[in-house]
């Protein structure tokens, strides 16, 4: 595999990974990061009400949106890096002809 083909594959992979991250950003945060970091870390300890049945309710939707948006922005950045890589490769290909 040539170096250009490897870079093209990497660019496409980054775009796919970024788009998947954006689409599933809510699922990545809830339950993904929720289980990893804990709900108290995500929304704040004072904003979690534990229920008698073992469940909980969180009362800070702003913190939830901040985390989901942060994950979505990370996905957009991955897409932009991948697109930039592909654009750069196409410009190099035109200049070499």
Tell me, yes or no, whether 76 lies in a domain. Answer: yes
Tell me, yes or no, whether 62 lies in a domain. Answer: yes
71 pLDDT exceeds 80? yes
C-beta of residue 61 within 8 angstroms of C-beta of residue 44? no
Q: Give residue 77's pLDDT.
A: 98
Q: Domain span at residue 26?
A: 17-91
Q: What is the pLDDT of residues 72-83, one digit of tens each?
A: 999 999 999 999
Tell me, yes or no, whether 80 lies in a domain. Answer: yes
**Is 96 exposed, middle or buried (CB count within 10 Å of its CB: 0-12, 13-18, 19+)?**
exposed
- Total domains in the chain come to 1
Q: Give residue 8's pLDDT.
A: 95
Cis, peptide link before residue 31, omega less than 30° from 0: yes
Tell me, yes or no, whether 7 lies in a domain. Answer: no
Q: Give residue 65's pLDDT.
A: 92
Q: Give residue 97's pLDDT.
A: 60
Tell me the whole-structure pTM to 2 decimals.
0.83
């Amino acid at each position: 595999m040539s170096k250009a083909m490897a870079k093209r594959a990497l660019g496409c992979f980054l775009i796919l990974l970024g788009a998947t991250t954006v689409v599933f950003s809510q699922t990545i945060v809830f339950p993904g990061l929720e289980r990893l970091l804990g709900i108290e870390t995500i929304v704040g300890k004072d904003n979690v009400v534990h229920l008698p049945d073992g469940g909980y309710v969180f009362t800070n939707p702003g913190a939830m949106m901040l985390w989901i948006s942060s994950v979505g922005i990370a996905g957009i950045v991955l897409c932009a890096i991948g697109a930039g890589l592909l654009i750069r490769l196409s410009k190099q290909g035109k200049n070499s002809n």
